Amino acid sequence: MFTANAATCVIAGLATFGVIARPWNLPEYIWAVTGAVLLVALDLLPWREAIAAAGKGADVYFFLVGMMLLAEVARKEGLFDWLAVQAVKRSKQSASRLFAIVYAVGTLVTIFLSNDATAVVLTPAVYAATRAAKVEPLPHLFVCAFIANAASFVLPISNPANLVVFGGRMPSLLDWLHYFALPSVASIVTTFVLLRISQSDRLKERVDSNDEAVALSRSAAIIAIGIGITGVVLVAASAVGRDLGLPTFICGAVVTAIVLLIARKSPASILRDVSWSVLLLVAGLFILVEGLNHSGALPALADLLKEASAASPRATFWGAGIVTAIASNLINNLPMGLIAATTTQAAQVQHYITGSTLIAVDLGPNLSITGSLATILWLIALRREGEDVSALRFLKVGALVMPPALLLSILVLSLVAP
């Protein structure tokens, strides 16, 4: 039994390392899927349990597909180009002002459409804006990655992981705001200040004042309205405790279908350019976590957490937050969110300890380039535009920005939690 459990942990660890480090530049999903296949092939996880684990990600799959459809059709119909021109006009030839505009928009998109939407939908628009402004793109693109995590616990819908972590113990919306409104403000403001400082040398450029007009086509206008309606639908679904995946998928599919019918275009190009491999990555990570649960590692962790929270609740509150933040960067916050959900619910810990863990799952990944699914989606979006960011370059910024924001947010939570 020990050998099987050890083998499961080794395979899960190696697969996660592959996702993070991408040896030989192989895509992230290959490592996650390979690890999942090995668990089943070596009889470390029954295939029925593996399929059931992959099925647990159905809501995430629907959500991602809906958002990717909206992003792809918006890109092809010129919505991002139009938004880019509007942002450049309002920057008044200041790269620093453009940076602040992108941060404000990213905050709103994350709050009402989720952090994954910020990575998928906003990143191409920001790249288009920097191209139109003829300024260094990375300082502004960094905003899309960092605000996607920093603002992801303002509302339950701001990050699908929020619903996973709390599960059936989800607080009401008023209770949620009581716990997380002020910590979110601390996270957003601290991240902005430190990110702005880290990019100050690159924000001294003058924005090109090219006045070339870009008309908003009828199709682009429909997409913009559709994205807005999607946000309203997600807020409403969250308020009544519904899953977010299927409503997002329906909104994305309907908007895409309407635009294609009006323009009399084939859906082939849209479907071809959607990053379907992300779904394989998510499925693989779900199976790897189930393998750890099957091995007995997670129940043992839950027992440890229960004992610690009973003996010293405040120390556990801080420890759980800090350890979870570090672990989210080591194994990615999607599996860490699943692990946190399994252990905190099994241990039946106090809400404020679960809250500390949730902040760490959401904000902690701002340290590393593959700490969160949103950042991986951001990387994929960058590669499509011909940009790339090394792990070391991201780490240099993340090491400055994330720790103070995390500690301050957890401190604020400790002051507002009962």
Sign of CA dihedral 322, 327, 332, 337: negative
Tell me what pLDDT residue 174 has: 78
Helix (H) or strand (E) holding 8: helix 2-21
The closest alpha carbon to 124, from 365, 368, 362, 387, belongs to 387
Q: Write the DSSP symbol of residue 242.
A: -
Would you say 361 and 161 are in contact if contact means Cβ atoms under 8 Å apart?
Answer: yes
Would you say 86 and 79 are in contact if contact means Cβ atoms under 8 Å apart?
Answer: no
Segments in the chain below pLDDT 50 = 1
The closest alpha carbon to 153, from 174, 180, 120, 173, belongs to 180
- Three-class SS state of 196: helix
Tell me what pLDDT residue 360 has: 93
Would you say 119 and 63 are in contact if contact means Cβ atoms under 8 Å apart?
Answer: no
317-335 in b/e form (b: 16+ CB < 10 A) is bbbbbbebbbbbbebbbbb
Tell me what pLDDT residue 8 has: 77
Tell me what pLDDT residue 1 has: 46
Whole-angstrom distance, CA of residue 245 vs CA of residue 256: 16
The length of the chain is 418
Tokens of 366: 């701002």
The closest alpha carbon to 33, from 286, 263, 318, 344, belongs to 286
Q: How much is the pTM? A: 0.82
